[in-house]
Amino acid sequence: MSLPISHEPAPNSADDAADLVSPETTQRRYPVVRLRPKAEARAIRHGFPWVYADELVTDRRTNNLAPGALAILVDGERRDLGLVTVNTNSKIIARMLDRNPEATLDQAWFEAKLTRALGLRARIYDKPFYRLVHAEADGLPGIVIDRFGDTAVIQPNAAWAEAHLPILVAALQAVTGVQTVVKNATGRSRGLEGLNEENLVLVGGVSAPIQVPMNGATYLADVTGGQKTGLFFDQRPNHAFAAGLARDARVLDVFAHVGGFGLAALAGGAASTLAVDASAPALALAGQGAAASGFADRFTTRQGDAFEVLEALGAEAAQFDLVICDPPAFAPAKPALEAGLRAYERIARLAAPLVAPGGYLVLCSCSHAADLASFRNASARGIGRGGRRGQLLHTGFAGPDHPMLPQLAESGYLKALFFRLD
């Protein structure tokens, strides 16, 4: 494809940009998209992986690119920045894929990315149960892959990932040897990319929930119909820290899902765990996990809205030595931040009175928009409003199979606060 390269001053409008033609042309493999003159190219050069819609010149040529198309990103002076994927329907209009603007996104390219990702996980974990690909932090923006032994679940949360899914699956099987690949195409991220929602098995078959050994317990993951990919690997180190506080403890696990904190606490020697969740199927899987772990006699469940159950337990004057609240993202984006922080404060206010004197309260947030300081302050306010005071013992984050891209704060979304209450 032959594309115009202009050395004239920046045009005044997007349409003008489309109409400028220079006698000098350069043969490029991909179309070229350009940052606006005032856009910060330095951040891109230093590793920031996204270009927002108001930072890119959106001329007719750019607007005609199909969602997920590949393009060469250049700065305002037309110097190459790298190969990006473009989606003009998204607020994140371009995502960096490769610093080489002429890279070929074939199966070998995906295999190289996956091999690098696998090398990290294989070094850290002795069994193949982990997050294999953590999107931008592993150089595959918008792609999440969780591995459950011989089964992998792919979340293609960006348009380019959807377009390249067949070769991604082929590369995944070649690198890892997994026999079953599930596509989990649900969630807020796909909606922002203009993609539909669907879950289906792409390769192989799944006949039952998968047993996952983790922190001394056995979890059951429903990889075809469960929440997200079926299990939350990101909390693994926080489960382990909580388990270290759980010896002989009465444990309350709120927003328990399939038993994350509660089963780990039982493996750590807890006297009992009460798991609370709104989802009956999730609690059923938690019960199966308790049975598979040999903890059935110490494990009970209570289905219901978490806020309502916390209020009811307070009215019953219930007491626990360890209370964990791991809710869904109350502030997934900035417009929801204030309401989300109020919800986190309310959770802390309701949970704090349930903690026996000298006991422990664990409060978690997976909200991108709520930074650590804001979440910590909301939690402390809630504890105070619940009539309690205490020490902050530990702050936990996602495990190393969820690496953080230093330039992208959103990749470090998970926070877990461990308090000891007076």
The yes-or-no verdict on residue 19 having pLDDT over 80 is no
Range of the domain at 280: 210-421
| Whether residue 389 sits in one domain with residue 249 | yes
| Whether residue 144 sits in one domain with residue 93 | no
The pLDDT of residue 192 is 76
The pLDDT of residue 323 is 98
- Helix axes of 260-267 and 280-293: crossing angle, nearest 10 degrees: 20
Give the tens place of pLDDT for each residue, 117-155. Answer: 999 999 999 999 999 999 999 999 999 999 999 999 999
Query: What's the mean per-residue pLDDT of the chain?
Result: 92
| Whether residue 111 sits in one domain with residue 172 | yes
| Whether residue 410 sits in one domain with residue 274 | yes
| Whether residue 38 sits in one domain with residue 182 | no
Give the tens place of pLDDT for each residue, 276-321. Answer: 999 999 999 999 999 999 999 999 999 999 999 999 999 999 999 9
DSSP per residue, 340-371:
HHHHHHHHHHHHGGGEEEEEEEEEEE--SSS-
The pLDDT of residue 26 is 59
Q: What is the CATH number of the domain that holds 47?
A: 2.30.130.10
- Helix axes of 107-124 and 165-176: crossing angle, nearest 10 degrees: 40
Give the tens place of pLDDT for each residue, 379-389. Answer: 999 999 999 99
Give the tens place of pLDDT for each residue, 154-175. Answer: 999 999 999 999 999 999 999 9
When pLDDT is cut at 50, 70 and 90, the band that residue 40 belongs to is confident
**End-of-domain residue from the set 75, 98, 121:** 98
| Whether residue 140 sits in one domain with residue 7 | no
| Whether residue 245 sits in one domain with residue 355 | yes
When pLDDT is cut at 50, 70 and 90, the band that residue 7 belongs to is very low
The pLDDT of residue 404 is 95
Which token pair is 46? 């230093």
Is pTM beyond 0.85? Reply is yes
What percentage of the chain reaches a pLDDT higher than 70?
94
| Whether residue 231 sits in one domain with residue 145 | no
DSSP per residue, 269-334:
T-SEEEEEES-HHHHHHHHHHHHHHT-GGGEEEEES-HHHHHHHHHHTT--EEEEEE----S-SSG
Report the number of distinct structural domains present in the chain.
3
- Helix axes of 260-267 and 236-244: crossing angle, nearest 10 degrees: 40
| Whether residue 214 sits in one domain with residue 147 | no
**End-of-domain residue from the set 203, 229, 252:** 203
Q: What is the CATH number of the domain that holds 127?
A: 3.30.750.80
The yes-or-no verdict on residue 78 having pLDDT over 70 is yes
| Whether residue 263 sits in one domain with residue 147 | no
| Whether residue 185 sits in one domain with residue 231 | no
**End-of-domain residue from the set 169, 186, 203:** 203
| Whether residue 243 sits in one domain with residue 129 | no
The pLDDT of residue 50 is 96
Which token pair is 215? 């922190």
The pLDDT of residue 6 is 35
Give the tens place of pLDDT for each residue, 87-108. Answer: 999 999 999 999 999 999 999 9
